[in-house]
Amino acid sequence: MSTVGVIGNPVTRVWDRFLHWLLDARKATYGLAVMRIGFGAMTVTILAMYLPNFSYSFGQGSRWGEALFRNSAVNDYVWPIPLLFSRDDPDQLLLLKIFVLMGVAVVYALGWRMRIVSPLFVMLWLGFAATNPVILNTGHYQTFRIFLLFLLLADTSRRWSLDARRRARTGEEDPALGFGAWRLPRWVPILANNLAVVLIGYQLCVIYVTSALWKLQGTTWVSGVASYYPLQLEELTMFPWLNHLAWQITPAVYIASWLSVYGQLLFPLFLLNRWTRIGGLILVTGMHASIGILLALPWFSLMMILGDMIFIRDRSWERAMAWVRREPWKARRRSRAAANADAGVSATAAAATAMPAVTPAPASPPAVLPQEIAEEREAQPSSRP
Summarize pLDDT for 365-380 with one digit per residue, the tens: 554 444 544 455 554 5
pLDDT range class, residue 70, cuts 50, 70, 90: low
Higher pLDDT, 89 or 337: 89
Q: Residue range 196-211: average pLDDT?
A: 95
Compute CA distances 277 → 185, 263, 270, 308, whole Å: 33, 11, 5, 11
pLDDT band at 384 (very low <50, low <70, confident <90, very high): very low
Above pLDDT 90, what percent of the chain? 37
The predicted-structure confidence for 282-309, as pLDDT tens digits, reads as follows 999 999 999 999 988 889 999 999 999 9
Check whether 360 has a pLDDT greater than 60.
no
User: Quick check: 248 pLDDT over 90?
Assistant: no
Say what the pLDDT of residue 224 is: 83
Residue 49: what pLDDT?
A: 93
213 vs 381: CA distance, rounded Å: 134
The helix/strand/coil state of 178 is strand
113: left (phi over 0), alpha (psi -120 to 50) or beta: left
Please, which residues have CB within 8 angstroms of residue 310's CB and are 6 or more apart in sequence? 28, 31, 32, 35, 197, 200, 201
pTM of the model: 0.80
Mean pLDDT rounded to a whole number for the chain: 82
Residues whose CB is less than 8 angstroms from the CB of residue 258 and which lie 6 or more positions away in sequence, other chains included: 222, 224
* 355 pLDDT more than 80: no
Identify which has the larger pLDDT, 3 or 275.
275
State the pairing for strand pair 182-183/178-179.
Answer: antiparallel
What average pLDDT does this structure show over 156-177?
84
Question: Which helix (H) or strand (E) is 279 found in, with range?
Answer: helix 274-294
Q: Look at 95-104, 146-155, 176-185, 250-259 and tell me which has the smallest mean pLDDT.
A: 176-185
